A = this chain, B = another copy of it.
Amino acid sequence: MGGGTRPKRAGSVWERPEPPRPAPLSRDRIVGAALEIADADGLEAVSLRKVGAALGAGPMRLYGYVESKEELLDLMVDTVYGEMVAAGAIGGPWKEALRTLAARLRAAAGAHPWFLGLLGGRPHQGPHALELLEQALAALRASPGFGEIDAVLQAVRTVHAYVVGALWSEALELRAGQSESEWQAAQWPYLQRVLATGRFPTLAEVVERATHPSSEEAFGRGLEMVIAGIEGGLARAR
């Protein structure tokens, strides 16, 4: 009998070693190819066939290195976390640490537009993701004011939540207002007409009167608000 039944290996990708030596492929190469495709053509362009083809292999070949497409996506995600970690350690006073964390996530989302889309998939528990989280938690733990571990967790969670949500909004606005011109051409007149009905007066006022700051500035202002809120919570608890 040939190598037929691929045994369901136990454990997770992070622990299971790659197939041994004489392999012209490797997880690194596979993930690298997948990253290139995703960066260039978006997440929906990443198919096992295309990734395989980029490496001169058939789709089934990849199943020796990865158990499902989801695992490949997990590996892609953790590679991005790896880039964030490689950008330098997160530390210093807690505010600075949180700002750095936010900036890292924003930079990653900017460099890999598909990254956000993978937030909804599976929890990010790869080694690099854990390391980034560890660094952030440790920086806060070491800062005065965060006596309770709960306060540390709460703060990091809140900032993380804000950042994720803000990056979503940013991505949507970018899409609606800039590229994909056909879509924009169709949607903008629609919005104009809807606002002209007078049913959404405040919204109309916002659209025409608000000074629309750059994405980065809006992001930063919101972040400072969140940080200020955390600080207030600290002061109250002390």
Contacts and interface: CB of A to CB of B under 8 A. Distances in A.
A47 B196 CA distance: 35
Interface in A160-188: 160-166, 168-169, 171-173, 175-176, 183, 186-187
Nearest to A230: B225
Interface residues of A, number: 71
A39 interface: no
A83 B210 CA distance: 29
Nearest to A124: B172
How many copies make up the complex? 2
Interface in A1-50: 10-12, 14-15
A38 to B, nearest CB: 14
A161 B222 contact: yes
B206 A149 contact: yes
Interface in A132-149: 133-134, 137-138, 141, 149
A203 B133 contact: yes
The 6 closest A-B pairs by CB, nearest first: A229-B229, A161-B165, A164-B165, A165-B165, A225-B229, A161-B166
